[in-house]
Amino acid sequence: MTVAALAEVADVSAVEDRHVRLAGVTRVFGRPGTPKSVHALGPIDLDLRRGEFFSVVGPSGCGKSTLLDVLAGLSKPTEGTAEFEGRPIDGVPAGVGVVFQEDASFPWLTVADNVAFGLRRAGVDAAEIARRVDYAVGFMGLKAFAGAYPAQLSGGMRQRVCIARTLVMQPRLILLDEPFGALDQQTRLLMGDELLRLWRETSATVLLITHALDEAAMLSDRVGVMSARPGVFIDVVETGWEVERDSRIVSHHRFGDITGRLWEKLRTESLKHLRDG
């Protein structure tokens, strides 16, 4: 095989490894160029490798959630292209699951019915639904609450219901929009452990939007730091963690270095956000 042919093979494998691609993506709300328009995002260039855990941190209002909406197909880029598995994102792509910050559990359904909701819609047979729901409910530590309604659960447990509902659909890309934002620090760390377990188990690509630097540093393979609005990536930090990791990593000597670097980049941007509002 010639050198040129080898280079081509390497290129192809790189493309196959690329699960999500954003190229020159911008998002402007309102008619671009008009006084009332808001340039919320971009231009953003980002490649997510298949199976990686990528987090996005940035000051409030920098367009993190807009970025997630573009990836989820809930919002169209004003300019640039967004691709998932090599296909342009036009509407919500199949194989994408989203967990929002707000409680999105269905209050009129039990935990088990919440988790089974998507599978029933998809026409999966009853035995398979039972098997997958049982696994997901057990995986998220909700077995004893399978028959309970969301109103009977704590905030963290309801968020686990939403994660389980996403998990059973076996998404290849999981988008998480500050899913633990409303939880206390200890619960967040433990939920982070469950998220890491879920990520390892499913081999899905995960994109996590968070405002918590420690959460991003602990969970991620890479962390993208966004500027104040309009949000662009000003740094992408490789954490270099092993795949097998959990919340005990916060005591690792490199953990402080990573969060320190993230904060160093973010501090100026956060000050800018505070100053400009």
Partner 1 sequence: MTREGWIRLVVVAAAVAALEIACRTGWIPTTVVIPPSAMATSLYDILVSGTHWGDILVSLRSVAAAGVLAIGLGFLVGAVIHALPPVRSAAEPLLASYYAVPTFMFYPVFIILFGVGSAAIVAIAVLLAIVAMISATLIGLDRIPRVLGKTALIMRMGPVERAFRISLPAAMPYLFTGVKLAVAYAFIGVIASEFILSGAGMGYAIAYAYNNFNNREMYGLMLLIVVLVTIVNTALDAVDRRLQARLRR
Q: Under the rule (CB under 8 A), what is the footprint of partner 1?
A: 72, 74, 91-92, 94, 96-98, 100, 102-104, 106-108, 118, 121, 149-151, 158
By CB atoms closer than 10 A (0-12, 13-18, 19+), residue 186 is exposed
**Residues 224, 237: Cα–Cα separation, whole Å:** 6
Q: For residue 123, count other CB atoms closer than 10 A to its CB.
A: 7
> Pseudo-torsion of CA 118, 123, 129, 135, nearest 10°?
-50
In the complex with partner 1, the residue whose CB is nearer, 121 or 253, is 121
Contacts of 193 (CB under 8 A, 6+ apart): 246, 247
Q: How far is the CB of 98 from partner 1 (least distance, A)?
A: 5
Q: How far is the CB of 36 from partner 1 (least distance, A)?
A: 19
Q: How far is the CB of 220 from partner 1 (least distance, A)?
A: 23
Q: How far is the CB of 176 from partner 1 (least distance, A)?
A: 12
- In the chain, the amino acid numbered 147 is G
87-88: strand order across its sheet: 38-49, 18-29, 79-84, 87-88
In the complex with partner 1, the residue whose CB is nearer, 135 or 149, is 149
Bond preceding residue 179 cis, omega within 30 of 0: no
In the complex with partner 1, the residue whose CB is nearer, 104 or 234, is 104
Return the SS3 of 110.
coil
**Residues 76, 51: Cα–Cα separation, whole Å:** 24
Q: How far is the CB of 106 from partner 1 (least distance, A)?
A: 7
Question: Do 80 and 43 form a contact (C-beta atoms < 8 A)?
Answer: yes
Distance of CA 247 to the CA centre of its chain: 18
In the complex with partner 1, the residue whose CB is nearer, 4 or 151, is 151
Q: How far is the CB of 265 from partner 1 (least distance, A)?
A: 30
In the complex with partner 1, the residue whose CB is nearer, 103 or 246, is 103
In the complex with partner 1, the residue whose CB is nearer, 42 or 97, is 97
Q: How far is the CB of 235 from partner 1 (least distance, A)?
A: 29
In the complex with partner 1, the residue whose CB is nearer, 153 or 225, is 153
